[in-house]
Structures are given as C-alpha cells and as structure tokens.
Amino acid sequence: MSQQENVILEMKDVKVQFRLDEGLLKAVDGVDLRIKRGKTLGIVGESGCGKSVTSQALLRIVPKPGEVQGEIRLTRKKKDGSLEVVDLAKLDARGKEIRDIRGAEIAMIFQEPMKAFSPIHTIGNQIMEAILLHTTDDQDEAYRIGVEILKKVGMSNPEQRMSEYPHQLSGGMRQRAMIAMALSCSPSILIADEPTTALDVTVQAQVLQLINDLKSSHDTSVIFITHDLGVIAEMSDDVAVMYLGKVVEYTDVDTLFHHPKHPYTKALLNSIPSVMRESKRLESIEGTVPFPMNLPKGCGFYTRCKLAKDGVCNVEDVPLVEVTAGHSVRCLLVDEV
C-alpha cells in the first residue's frame, strides 16, 4: 500500500514511565502515532499531558529515570538507497546507532533557544559540530554548509553570525539559528517542541512561515508540539490531542476543528478566547489536570468531563477507536456526543 510507504515513523503503544520513590509516573501511556512523509503532525495538549516526553522518546533523550517501552519504527534510507526499518525503542540510548540518527535523521528545535545553545561557543561552532558529526569531515566544507543554511533561514550577514555568540542575537534570530542547526544535516523528521512559545506574535509569524517554507523545500516531516490551538490550525496536516499521557483524539486538522468528537477536544476549542468569535462567556473545563501518578482505572478525563457517566467511564481503560477513516477517538460515549 502506498499509504504505508509514506509513513516515515510509526509509534506503537509507546510508554514512558518514571519509577520514582513516590510511585510509578506514567508520563506517556500507550501512544500510537504515524508521521507521514512531508507532512506535519501537530501534538497539542495542556502542560503535563506528555507531549514533550513523547518527542523526547523519539530521540531517546528522556531524562533519567525514564524508561521507553513499545515500538518506534523509523523508516530510513540506507546508503545504497534501499529502505530499512529501525526500532528506536530497542536501541541503546547511548549507543552509536541512535547517535547517528539524532541530528541526522531526526532533529529537534527546542522552546528556549537561549537554553538550548551553549553560551560559550559561537553559533558557527555549534552548527558546524552537527555537520562535522554527520555530513563531512572537512572543516571548510562544514563552514560553507553552515553559512549556506544560515542564509536559508533568513539571517542577515551569515558570515558574521557564524562567529557570534548566542547572547548577541535577539530571540527571533536565536530561534532562526536553532532552526538552521536542526536543518543543517537535512533530517527527514524535524521535531519542533513549542518553538514559538517564547516569541512575540509578529516574530512568531515569521518563524512559523520559515518552518513551513523549509518543510516544503526540504520535503521534511514535522512533528509540531504546542499548547496553542491557533498555531496548530496554522501548521498541521494531522493533529493528535493528548491528555494525561494518552492520545484522546487523532485526525486531520480540518476535522479536528470542525467536527471534533472527544469532549476534551470540544471543551478545549470552546475555552480559547478567539479573535474570530465574539461571545460573552468562555466555556471552561472544571478543575485541573490530575497528577499522572497512581491514577484510577477508566477514562483519564472522567473527573472533568461534563458527560461522564458513573459506572461506564470509570470502570475500564478506554481504547482509542477509529470512528471514521483516519479519525480515532478515545471515548466510550462517542456515539452520544
């Protein structure tokens, strides 16, 4: 099936658990996702829903004592052109294989460019480090690629920027440098973890446009993680809504915003004050997200859901069910909603 070939990364029942003194913390609890070639998958959810940990699991950079379980199947091209499938979850997190993939196959843009860059190395050195690791051994060649990529992300005076330190750049410029670094080895998947949250709206608009342009010119797949539904609508082809470590709804972006099925998605959409909608009162979700430790059985949203039924929703864990082609919902009452 051509559909299958286009899937570049597939996550099956991925779990990330932290064994803490207080108990077992299930940060990611059985996530199934597919990332298609050249498309953007948006992951949206509130803080603590496991969206960042999911992306860390892909790169196997989950902080200790986190453990990754399940299957993460990455399809990649070998040097001779044939395709091979690697299960990232089975790799040694500190081994050579995963280090070849990090940066080269899957690259990441972090939320805070100031924290993600080393303050004591120049932008040029940091970009060249990745290139020297993955693409070439030649310093001059690496420098040339570095300048090229900085130019591509719209930095003025790329040669000068190469010898500047991160603190000399403004927030938007730093994020551009970050994107340049991520793209320097032409990865097939780019993970963007809240890349614009720390930026002002006018600068955010610039960065979002840049990511979209580069995505189409490089044919890169993007995993876009954010809590901002506006940005999701702007950027994504498919969207996964996460709540308490689980995907509660997974569909294409148009269906999500116009025919959402899960009560959480609906409530979330109704709770954003929007420029386009004038209403007197916002619909809010009662309570707050529970702490993901020692959770009771049943639907994670049970305690806050307006439609929750005692004896139905709080009995067994709710499976993610495909209601129509390409639209999966984790809700027992989906037919009644």
Give residues in contact with other proteins (CB under 8 A): 46-47, 170-173, 200-206, 208-209, 227-234, 236, 253-254, 257-258, 267-269, 271-279, 281-286, 288-289
Cβ(253)–Cβ(42) under 8 Å? yes
Distance CA 28, CA 81 (A): 34
- Least distance in Å: CB of 316 to other proteins? 25
* Strands, E assignment, the chain: 7-20, 23-36, 40-44, 66-77, 83-87, 106-109, 189-193, 221-226, 238-243, 246-252, 321-324, 327-329
133 or 269, CB closer to other proteins? 269
- Least distance in Å: CB of 102 to other proteins? 29
**Residue 132 has which token pair?**
């020297």
286 or 310, CB closer to other proteins? 286
Residues near 23 by Cβ (< 8 Å), separated by ≥ 6?
293, 294
Tell me what percent of the chain is helix, strand and coil, each rounded to the nearest 5: 35, 25, 40
- Amino acid identity, position 60: R
Coil, strand or helix at 317: coil
- Least distance in Å: CB of 30 to other proteins? 23
Distance CA 144, CA 74 (A): 30
- Least distance in Å: CB of 63 to other proteins? 21
- Least distance in Å: CB of 105 to other proteins? 29
- Least distance in Å: CB of 202 to other proteins? 5
138 or 213, CB closer to other proteins? 213
136 or 206, CB closer to other proteins? 206
Spatial CA neighbour of 188 closest among 212, 215, 210: 215
Cβ(84)–Cβ(78) under 8 Å? yes
- Least distance in Å: CB of 315 to other proteins? 25
290 secondary structure, DSSP code: P
- Least distance in Å: CB of 265 to other proteins? 11
142 or 208, CB closer to other proteins? 208
82 or 279, CB closer to other proteins? 279
184 or 196, CB closer to other proteins? 196
Residue 297 CB burial class (10 angstroms; 0-12, 13-18, ≥19)? exposed
Omega before 65 within 30 of 0, i.e. cis = yes
